Amino acid sequence: MARSTVRFLGWAALMAGLAAGGGSSIASAQSAAHATPGTAQTAPLNCAKSATPVDRTLCASADIKVSVEDVATTLRETLANTPVSERDAVLRGQQSFLAERDRTCADRANTDACLRLYNKRVGDIQALNGAAQKKLAAIAAAIPKDPKAAVAALQRYDGPAAKAWLVYLFQSGMAAPPDKDTSREAMVRALTSAILRDLTPDPDMKEEMVKLGDVAAAPVGSALLLLRHVLSTTEMDAPCFLFTKHGVTAFEAFGAFWNNSRDASPALCNPPVSVFDLPEWKKVEARMSPNTLPGQEDSGGLLRQNGGRQTEIDALQASLMPATLLDPPQSDDSKLAAEQRKAVLAAFRAWRDFNVWSEADYKATVAALPAAITATAKLYRDTFNLTPTQAEQAARAAADRLIASHLSALMQDD
């Protein structure tokens, strides 16, 4: 097969799917993870019908069964994050593993060795997946420099992450679909349909993605939220250019959503300057640390993280695009969060529950705030070229965000 044909095999399959609805080229990964060497596909491990000595060994150990599933899942993810033209090397490695697996695991007496072999394979595939994701993340990071080149590079992939980036590129207007005979709307709909089909099974995630509706007919915020959901299934970060380009829309899309540990992913980019690392803010936070807030240990949080994802997104917004702190919220959830923040700040100004937060620490916090706001306003003038009025207002808004996120943990049961 010619190199150019191999290069765009995944894209060609998607284009064919616009007309025929063809299956995913990674749909067989689960089967391939357990296949007999030399075969293209077989059924996944079925312990209700363990027909071979190898199957009986695998099914006899709960630990091995977990590792079998881990190999299947990780292989699927690795193939999704690997260019179509480079997958043969991954599959050859899997075939070699399966051959060794068949030799090692055919005898039930070798259960321990079989488990070690599977655990090693999990680690090996995870390493491949990590390297593949770094390459894919590098393509995404280069989008602002050359969106058209990013589209060409992403076309080499057939996984959800690459497709989500293509949806973003087309919906944001940064690039046009390369096929002039296919409309942007049709292309985005084909991509989102493929993402829903190929994404790792997760009922809650799928439900939320279905709720997005017709992304092709929606503002770019829906494409950003789609991208956030897909990236959350990977180890890839949300790059800073999304926030500098789209402002509040991006901060809301990547902000608090699940309000639980799922919000930890995708990780956010590291801004060039972190405003809350200023020494003046360290003095404020020292008076609001977990050690000085009785009961915080019981409510389960490090204070810097007690606001969860919203704390992180507030810090990023204050450090990367401080002027957007003055923009009104757009989504209904963000409008509600703004109202809740006002209530928390009102409670802060009238704080009297000194059994929870000591009077000395409260007064020290209030006394330290003006210096922190002044230092922040100076940073905003010098680094972000905000006017004195804008800088002062943004600095106060940043202070409000930090105080509210810290104090909200104490009030979460109110």
Tens digits of residue pLDDT in 87-102: 999 999 999 999 999 9
Provide the 3-class DSSP secondary structure of residue 303.
helix
Q: How far apart are CA 358 and CA 294, in angstroms?
A: 9
Same domain (yes/no): 226, 288: no
Q: At residue 224, does pLDDT exceed 80? A: yes
**pLDDT score of 200:** 81
- Among 137, 169, 202, the domain boundary falls at 137
250 in a structural domain: no
> For the whole model, what pTM was predicted?
0.87
Same domain (yes/no): 283, 395: yes
- CB burial of residue 226 (10 Å; 0-12, 13-18, 19+): buried
Find where tokens 């070690």 sit: 116
123 in a structural domain: yes
pLDDT one-digit tens code per residue, 131-161: 999 999 999 999 999 999 999 999 999 999 9
Report the Cα–Cα distance between both ends of the chain, in Å, rounded: 66
**pLDDT score of 42:** 43
**pLDDT score of 38:** 44
Give the model's confidence band at 41: pLDDT under 50 very low, under 70 low, under 90 confident, else very high: very low
Same domain (yes/no): 115, 157: no
Burial state string for 116-142 with b = 16 or more CB within 10 A and e = fewer than 16: ebbbebbebbbebbeebbeebbebbbe
Of the listed ranges 50-54, 171-175, 186-190, 312-316, the one predicted with least confidence? 50-54
317 in a structural domain: yes
227 in a structural domain: yes
**Please, are residues 176 and 200 in contact by the beta-carbon 8 Å criterion?**
no
Q: How far apart are CA 263 and CA 277, in angstroms?
A: 23
**pLDDT score of 355:** 86
Provide the 3-class DSSP secondary structure of residue 104.
helix
Domain of 150, in residue numbers: 142-236
**pLDDT score of 307:** 56
Of the listed ranges 164-178, 242-256, 395-409, the one predicted with least confidence? 395-409
Same domain (yes/no): 193, 100: no
263 in a structural domain: no
Same domain (yes/no): 87, 107: yes
Kindly state the average pLDDT of the residues 123-128: 97
Q: How far apart are CA 258 and CA 141, in angstroms?
A: 26
Q: Which amino acid is at 329?
A: P
Number of domains in the chain: 3
256 in a structural domain: no
The per-residue pLDDT of the chain, averaged, comes to: 87
Same domain (yes/no): 165, 87: no
Same domain (yes/no): 291, 328: yes
Same domain (yes/no): 198, 280: no
**pLDDT score of 299:** 34
9 in a structural domain: no
Q: How far apart are CA 237 and CA 227, in angstroms?
A: 11
Give the model's confidence band at 13: pLDDT under 50 very low, under 70 low, under 90 confident, else very high: low
Structure tokens at 139: 């393509």
Torsion, CA 91, CA 93, CA 95, CA 96, rounded to 10: 170
Q: How far apart are CA 199 and CA 11, in angstroms?
A: 17
- Among 173, 207, 236, the domain boundary falls at 236
pLDDT one-digit tens code per residue, 355-385: 888 899 999 999 999 999 999 999 999 999 9
244 in a structural domain: no
